Amino acid sequence: MIINEIKNKPILGLNLKLWLICSKYLKMNREKVYTVDVFWDGPIAGAANFDASAHYFDVVEDDIEFPDGSLNFMLISLSDEILQLIIKNAEIRLRWQEACDKEEADLGSSPALPEDEEQMNENKFRIDTFLYQNNQSALIKRGIFNQLESGHFEVVWF
């Protein structure tokens, strides 16, 4: 009976399909996103949990967006030390952005205030070295990000 009604009412069928997709998404495990280091129409690089442990995510180059809006990402497991360096650099960028918003810093400058620049560069060198040394153990997973009302993001991996 319901199937026949759906066939006769395409809009109802579409609503049911959307409901099924949404309910599937709601049941999926949402993971914490610590930082978004690169954003282009959505997060494409940063730090987030995968299976409840911190990983660096980076979009797979030249990949296509799937119909559900997800993309393929390379995931590299992070040590606590490297995660803290990534978070510290995100805080440095945030201070710089806030200074730019108040016109106390130049948008064309480094993404750090002068007093933070040396620390940011040291952190970045250690982060990049770690990621380079560990990229052989990277996983490829599809992910879709959702922005929360707070402005933060969460991610679902599948």
Q: pLDDT tens track of the chain, all 158 residues?
A: 344 444 444 554 555 455 555 555 556 689 999 999 999 989 999 999 999 999 999 999 877 888 888 999 999 999 999 999 999 999 999 999 999 999 888 887 789 999 999 999 999 999 999 999 999 999 999 999 999 999 999 999 99
Distances in Å between the Cα of 79 and the Cα atoms of 129, 134, 145 are 13, 11, 23
β-bridge partners, 143: 71, 157
Comparing C-alpha atoms, which of 36, 39, 40, 31 is closest to residue 154?
Answer: 31
- What is the C-alpha separation between 130 and 37, in angstroms, rounded? 16
The domain segmentation of the chain, as residue ranges, is: 30-157
Could you tell me if residue 130 is left (phi over 0), alpha (psi between -120 and 50 degrees) or otherwise beta?
alpha
